[in-house]
Amino acid sequence: MNLLTASTLEWVFFGIGTLHFFQWFYLINECVAFKNISLKLEKNKSTGQLCPKVSVIFTARDEEKYISSCLESLVHQNYKNLEVIAVNDRSKDNTGLIISKFAKKYEVIKPLSISTLPSGWLGKNNALQKAADIATGDLILFTDADVFFESHAISTAVKWVQGNQLDHLVLSPKLKSDSLILSALQTYFSLMFVLFTRPSQIGKTKKHYIGAGAFNMLTREAYNKIDGHKKLRLEVLDDVMLGKLIVSAGFKQAVLSGRELLSLNWYDSTWDMIKGLEKNGFAALRFSLLKLVGLIFFTGWLHILPYTSLFFLNSVGLYAIATSLIFAHLFFLLVIIKLGHKWWLFLLMSPAALILCFTHIRSTCINLKNRSITWRETSYSLKELKKHCL
């Protein structure tokens, strides 16, 4: 009986190891597909001479650390039919002064200052809508105040939009960091974002959509059709949900790797990232405890179970689990190199996965305890946010 039980257990874990292997193959294949999409669209870039006006919009609240670098990179773009609407959203530091200084020196910059927040709006979403209302471009680029643009970033993006007849283009930025753990955490976050948004399916069905705060470029026609940010006024994930509205309205969307075009220091430390995601960790799960349980199971299945199994198995089950682990790490290594990340980060993917899972659990607990989300010193009712969740 004991032999039969042991044998059965071995074969159960053999099946788990085999399934684990194919899961990794599927997940990593999505990342490789993302890279291939980027290469394909790059080859199809337009060489035409059309030069539509681009309105670059970002909102800044207490962003004095990086905003000068962002503005400097924007005023030195080789794309000249450009306006930059820089919004100072109730800052308490020198953000407003820095914007004013640049606006006096460069006429391409249009400063906008917001001193009050109307009821029923998130601060950032309100600021973006106010800026879009005065924008005059045929293309609108929503970005963040800490993004650094290479000089050819906007001209390259416009060519992609024209050459592929896009209504919405999303670029994923290079996330810079001097911290080993933070680099691993940001890399894992990027990979999971790619895997769960499924870039290979973007543009094929309305079920799949994407958006990124660092780079959302869309046509004025598309933005007007979805009624701007009005439907997003209380949406924490405004950048991603903007993409959802675009796709739902029947417009054409694409996502590309923009690592060679834009970069940012997303967070300064691992703890900063954990605290920074406090506001949207639960929102990313659409305020669902069931999805949180699913995330915990997913993390445990891929990053804990295979390792713990090694201590309890031998023979056929052990070989299956060990093989799946070897291939999982090889797949991660392949993708990390393919997407331009540092190769040695693949060794830290499992610890990074556990940290990210903890971040979502922490966000959920804090938000449920407070019955609200606090964002830039302003609290928003969880009940109200759920009500307006797309």
Same domain, 28 and 40: no
Is residue 272 situated within a structural domain? Answer: no
Same domain, 257 and 289: no
Give residue-wise pLDDT tens across range 255-270.
988 888 999 999 999 9
254: CATH: 3.90.550.10
Distance CA 248, CA 205 (A): 9
Label residues 354-368 b or e (16+ Cβ within 10 Å = b): ebbbebbebbbebbe
Domain boundary among 232, 267, 302: 267
| Closest by Cα among 139, 132, 129 to 82 | 139
Is residue 273 situated within a structural domain? Answer: no
Same domain, 194 and 135: yes
Same domain, 72 and 182: yes
Is residue 196 situated within a structural domain? Answer: yes
- What's the domain count of the chain? 2
Same domain, 55 and 129: yes
| Closest by Cα among 217, 213, 64, 240 to 144 | 213
Structural domain of residue 128, as residue ranges? 36-267
Structure tokens at 175: 């996330």
| Closest by Cα among 124, 128, 78, 71 to 100 | 71
Same domain, 289 and 211: no
Q: Judge whether 191 and 31 are in contact, CB under 8 Å.
A: yes
pLDDT of res. 219: 97
Distance CA 87, CA 379 (A): 21
Is residue 274 situated within a structural domain? Answer: no
Is residue 276 situated within a structural domain? Answer: no
Q: What angle do CA 260, 265, 270 make, to 5 degrees?
A: 125
Q: What are phi and psi of 300, to 5 degrees?
A: -65, -40
Is residue 8 situated within a structural domain? Answer: yes
Same domain, 311 and 243: no
Same domain, 62 and 185: yes
Name the residue type at position 353.
Answer: A
Domain boundary among 267, 290, 321: 267
Per DSSP, the three-state class of 82 is strand
Domain boundary among 236, 267, 298: 267
Q: Judge whether 156 and 237 are in contact, CB under 8 Å.
A: no
Q: Judge whether 246 and 218 are in contact, CB under 8 Å.
A: yes
Q: Is the dihedral of CA 122, 370, 64, 114 positive or negative?
A: positive
**Contacts for 371 with CB less than 8 Å, ≥ 6 apart:** 381, 382, 383
Same domain, 66 and 19: no
pLDDT one digit per residue (tens) for the chain, 390 residues: 344 455 676 777 777 777 777 777 777 777 777 777 766 666 555 545 579 999 999 999 999 999 999 999 999 999 989 999 999 999 999 999 999 999 999 999 999 999 999 999 999 999 999 999 999 999 999 999 999 999 999 999 999 999 889 999 999 999 998 888 999 899 889 888 877 888 888 888 889 999 999 999 999 999 999 999 999 999 999 999 999 999 999 999 999 888 889 999 999 999 999 999 999 999 999 999 999 999 999 898 888 888 877 776 666 667 777 777 777 777 777 767 766 677 888 888 889 999 999 999 999 999 999 999 998 888 999 999 999 888
pLDDT of res. 104: 97
Which bin fits 87, alpha (ψ -120 to 50), beta or left (φ > 0)?
Answer: beta
Is residue 303 situated within a structural domain? Answer: yes
User: Cα Rg for the chain, rounded, in angstroms?
Assistant: 22
Measured torsion, CA atoms of residues 267, 269, 274, 280, in degrees rounded to the nearest 10: 0
Same domain, 126 and 245: yes
**Contacts for 84 with CB less than 8 Å, ≥ 6 apart:** 56, 71, 74, 75, 108, 109, 110
Stated pTM of the model: 0.90
Q: Do β-strands 82-89 and 54-60 pair in parallel, antiparallel, or remain unpaired?
A: parallel
Same domain, 172 and 294: no
**Contacts for 354 with CB less than 8 Å, ≥ 6 apart:** 299, 303, 304
Is residue 373 situated within a structural domain? Answer: yes
Name the residue type at position 263.
Answer: S
pLDDT of res. 94: 96
Same domain, 56 and 187: yes
